[in-house]
Amino acid sequence: MTQTATQLTPSAQEEITTALNQCLSETVVTTMLAQNFHWNVKGMAFGPLHALFQEIYEDHFAGQDDLAERVRALDMHAEGQLAKMLDRSKVAEADGLQTDREMIELLATAQETVSKTLAGLGELAAGHGDTLTEDLAIERGRTHDKFAWMLRSHLQ
């Protein structure tokens, strides 16, 4: 049965919020990773990579807001402390000193990591009848899969 945010049990809200905050944390770290690479990329593919990295971080910045607002719609707390996000995230920071190829590989792996976390969120939300969170997870996951494909295409 489909549940709106206010119809979910408190334990369902807590579980879904924990998963949403995990996705939010990984999205924030991946956003900064893309922005860092945007600032620091060098090489023969500078132009297209500079533009692609910008497209990614701009998309992810909007995605952060969507995830955080869903947490708030569940009447829960959206994590906003960077240190806690870094601790929670399965995506690691990078210093921006990588080669363009290494940047692509790191960012593609980050996209795949976030996509997998979002898939788990979608399954969890579906299990609780929270189709709105499930839909958000599917939408964001599809976006991260697309960026992973676009990045990996540069490596072939």
pTM (2 d.p.): 0.95
Is 39 inside any structural domain?
yes
Read off the pLDDT of residues 1-17 as tens digits, 9 standing for 90 and up: 666 666 899 999 999 99
Query: What CATH number should be reported for the domain holding residue 68?
Result: 1.20.1260.10
Q: Which runs of consecutive H residues, i.e. helices, occur in 74-130?
A: 82-88, 100-127
Number of domains in the chain: 1
Is 54 inside any structural domain?
yes
Nearest partner of 114 among 80, 67, 78, 71, judged by Cα:
67
Residues 6+ apart with CB under 8 A from 60: 27, 30, 31, 34
Which residue range is the domain that position 24 belongs to? 9-153
Is 37 inside any structural domain?
yes
Read off the pLDDT of residues 101-147 as tens digits, 9 standing for 90 and up: 999 999 999 999 999 999 999 999 999 999 999 999 999 999 999 99
Is 2 inside any structural domain?
no
Is 1 inside any structural domain?
no
Is 4 inside any structural domain?
no
Read off the pLDDT of residues 48-70 as tens digits, 9 standing for 90 and up: 999 999 999 999 999 999 999 99
At residue 83, what is the residue type?
A
Residues 6+ apart with CB under 8 A from 144: 111, 112, 114, 115, 118
